[in-house]
Amino acid sequence: MVARRASPHEHPSTAHRPVAPPRAAPARLEIPKDEKQVELAVGDRTVKLTNLDKPFWPEAGITKRDLLQYYADVAPQLLPHVVDRPMTMKRYPNGAGGDFFFMKRAPRPRPTWLETCSVSHPSGNIIDYPLVQDLAALLWVVNLGCIDLNPAYGTCGDIDHPDSLHFDLDPVPGATFETVLDAALLMRDALESLHIPCFAKTTGSRGIHVYVPIEKGPSQHEVWDFSKHFARAVEKRAPELVTTVYKVAARPQGRVLIDFNQNAWGRTLASVYSVRPRPRAPVSMPVTWSEIERGLRIEQFRLDNARARLREKGDLWAPMVSSGHRLDLGRFT
């Protein structure tokens, strides 16, 4: 139980962990292809997977089993980016084309080994979010119909102090994806002019995410405030290319929105390597700046080919979870 009450900028949180850590899962976990449901041994844990034959992308012939197998295969690269972060579940029980709903509280019944994080909210509610700590937990969450993963920006026990900030670059009607790539390069140049390291990934939807690894310390509100002022400074550099106008009706056409508001507490973005609920199952994929300079397409990174790219290039976002080269926001306050 969380002892302190929450406030708009303080959300006490604590993890609930099993007594013993799991034994290592096999090097590659194969999910049966000819079963509708299965109880699968993952190390010393058992995960029940259901409706494996349900079409999740009928037009592409991709089933729920295929989605689960993808996440099992990319878990070594993905897990470091979501571990210890309370997970908001966006559930698509009938696949990518069906209705979805958000769920924060880990549903019951749930496995006794599943770790959760109790987060206190200003309303007085204390919500037990699931923590995706290992392959078993990852499969359990995806089996609920979570096509993409939406982790908190902070870790359990320190949820109000993120270790990254980001800019969500989203095309306004009239802007092309090539315009988004130009906006991403503009953001890179502005950040690098201040010696700020930055990394890019496709959103898997329509845009590009530009992330900056930061040293823990500033509150989520302070990170939001910095990102707001930085985005508006970039807008002044190239008002014909980007905008920070948040009101939809007031946004100038043909621009790219620098959405700094996604840094607000309680917001989430699809994690790196997440599959997105769009045609052909695109993946939110790390990309190099040279790839952005040469030009790329959202749809070239998909569930069916992302694993081959990972085998070739490894985790391009490993620096996001390393201890080195993190921005000290104190330089700018």
The whole-number pLDDT of residue 297 equals 94
Domain map (residue ranges) of the chain: 30-151, 164-332
Specify the DSSP class assigned to residue 85: S
Could you tell me which CATH number the domain at 30-151 has? 3.90.920.10
Domains 30-151 and 164-332 share a fold: yes
Q: Give pLDDT tens digits along the chain (333 positions).
A: 455 678 888 898 998 877 556 555 556 899 999 999 999 999 999 999 999 999 999 999 999 999 999 999 999 999 999 999 999 999 999 999 999 999 999 999 999 999 999 999 888 899 999 999 999 999 999 999 999 999 999 999 999 999 999 999 999 999 999 999 999 999 999 999 999 999 999 999 999 999 999 999 999 999 999 999 999 999 999 999 999 999 999 999 999 999 999 999 999 999 999 999 999 999 999 999 999 999 999 999 999 999 999 999 999 999 999 988 899 998 887
The whole-number pLDDT of residue 1 equals 46
Rounded CA separation 333/309 (Å): 40
The whole-number pLDDT of residue 32 equals 95
The whole-number pLDDT of residue 34 equals 92
The whole-number pLDDT of residue 289 equals 98
Q: Please name the residue that has the structure tokens 């052909």.
A: 280
Q: Which pTM was predicted?
A: 0.94
What tokens appear for 3 in the block? 């002892």
Specify the DSSP class assigned to residue 320: G
What tokens appear for 281 in the block? 């199952």
Rounded CA separation 259/266 (Å): 15
Q: Please name the residue that has the structure tokens 């994806």.
A: 177
Phi–psi pair at 170, nearest 5 degrees:
-125, 125
End-to-end CA distance of the chain: 35
Rounded CA separation 285/205 (Å): 11
SS3 of residue 262 by DSSP: helix
The whole-number pLDDT of residue 18 equals 74
Could you tell me which CATH number the domain at 164-332 has? 3.90.920.10
Residue 191: closest CA among 258, 268, 262: 258
Q: H or E stretch including 286? A: strand 286-287
